[in-house]
Amino acid sequence: MTHPEWNQIPMVDLKEELTLIRTPVLEMMTEVLDSGDYILGEKGKQFEKLAAQYVGASYGIGAANGTDALELSLRALGIGPGDDVITTPFTFFATAEAIAQVGARPVFADIEEDTYNIDPAHVEEAITPNTKAIIVVHLYGKAANMKEITRIAEDYDLFVIEDACQAIGAEYDGKRVGAIGDIGCFSFFPSKNLGAFGDAGLVTTNQEAVFENIMQLRNHGSLEKYHHAAIGMNSRLDEIQAAFLLVKLYYLDIFLHKRKEAANRYTENLHPLLKTPSITRNREHTFHQYCIELDKRDELASALDYNGIDSAIYYPVPLHLQPAFDYLGFKKGDFPIAEKTAERILGLPIHPTLSFQKQDYIIKTINDFLEDNG
């Protein structure tokens, strides 16, 4: 069943979003087409510079996608076989996949119950003599506890890589994520808060040596044409994606404001039986996802679908229980908070063009379900 005034309400409405920015997007695309310069051109350089400035970092390096941004970061820090990298088991697969891709060993640490981000106390427990880095994920757009993470890293001489793929614009103590650790990684997958026209990514850093290393690695290990100083990757931000992102970067703060507005409205009006996202004064949330928790998660998801409302589970299987990581030897029960959250979490539609009317319909549908099934 759907509401008579509209079809299914999607998690993200990229078509509606594009209607707001179609003219400048087409103008920017035309400039790229007329230039005949499609790889490592001026739009890419301009986006790298402006995106780094937005984050508050000294350097920005475009990449083909967020996964490559993570792998490039690990490789630039010299992390590989024999090394351990600590990260969260409750995130998208790419975070730990990048660790495995460079030959290092993913080591998981359980999450904070309220924020879903990695728990610094568990990070410290997971450190071994082989530990070289921590990949901290700012999940759903909420900054992790960077004060404690950076303290631990300093105490044990570890690198900190920020997986900010869901969190551009989020802040910790007034500083934007991606410029707090040694390296920041961003994804511009189309559904992200800053989404491209396809795949795209970015690495940020304040360290010149890291910047130069990644610039070389992303282009087949080459800074000079046909001269290769290292075994690198083909992971370059193309001009079409850079042009699209330049336009959307201009609108980013407006779109983030609309997301926060929608999130606040959900929180104020949803049934108190639900667990809604925690708001922490010094850890800003940009709501790439708005996730609730409840025992009857699957039943509510079915009720939403019946009423023409999309929902999604981020994420149904923690990383330590993924078959691809069987070789690590983890088992069910090793990370109880992540496992419990995976059984209860549900993402609701949230995007800059979500109307109050549609949001009210979503809220009413959820509250009616809870009144009947609470």
Confidence of residue 2 (pLDDT cuts 50, 70, 90): low
% of the chain at pLDDT higher than 70? 99
CA distances from 156 to 43, 111, 152 (A): 40, 20, 6
- Angle between helix 356-373 and 239-269 (nearest 10): 50
Angle at 197 between CA 196 and CA 203, to 5 degrees: 30
Across the range 24-29, mean pLDDT stands at 96
pLDDT digit string, tens, across residues 153-183: 999 999 999 999 999 999 999 999 999 999 9
Q: What is the pLDDT of residues 190-227, one digit of tens each?
A: 999 999 999 999 999 999 999 999 999 999 999 999 99
Helix axes 66-76, 94-101, angle to 10 degrees: 40
Mean pLDDT estimate for the chain = 96
Q: Is the dihedral of CA 322, 195, 115, 152 positive or negative?
A: positive
The pLDDT of residue 297 is above 70: yes
Residue 350 has pLDDT above 90, yes or no: yes
pTM: 0.97
- Whether residue 344 is predicted with pLDDT greater than 70 in this model: the reply is yes
- pLDDT one-digit tens code per residue, 62-114: 999 999 999 999 999 999 999 999 999 999 999 999 999 999 999 999 999 99
Provide the β-strand partners of residue 203.
Answer: 61, 185
What average pLDDT does the segment 344-369 reach? Answer: 97
Structure token pair of residue 318? 């923690």
Report pLDDT for 111: 98
* Residue 263: both structure tokens together: 């999130």
The per-residue pLDDT for range 102-146, each reduced to its tens digit, is 999 999 999 999 999 999 999 999 999 999 999 999 999 999 999
β-partners of residue 283 are 172, 280
As a whole number of angstroms, the distance between CA 362 and CA 16 comes to 18
For residue 271, is pLDDT > 80? yes
- Determine the average pLDDT of the residues in 339-343: 98
What are the residues facing 106 on neighbouring strands?
85
Distance CA 165, CA 291 (A): 17
Q: Does 374 score more than 70 pLDDT?
A: no
Half-sphere exposure of 222 (CA within 13 A, CB side): 12
Distance CA 210, CA 205 (A): 7
Encoded amino acid at 123, one letter: V
Q: How does residue 342 score in pLDDT terms, banded at 50, 70 and 90?
A: very high
Token pair for 89: 């088991």
Tokens of 84: 């351990």
Identity of the residue numbered 349: P
Whole-number Å distance between alpha carbons of 105 and 80: 8
Q: Are 358 and 6 in contact (CB under 8 A)?
A: yes
Distance CA 214, CA 235 (A): 10
pLDDT at residue 4, as a whole number = 67
Output the pLDDT for position 114. Answer: 94
State the pLDDT confidence band at 48, using cuts at 50, 70 and 90.
very high
**pLDDT computed for residue 273 by the predictor:** 87
For residue 6, is pLDDT > 80?
Answer: no
DSSP tag of 345: E
What confidence category does residue 1 fall into, taking pLDDT thresholds of 50, 70 and 90?
Answer: low
Structure tokens given for 332:
């069910």
For residue 202, the 8-state DSSP code is E
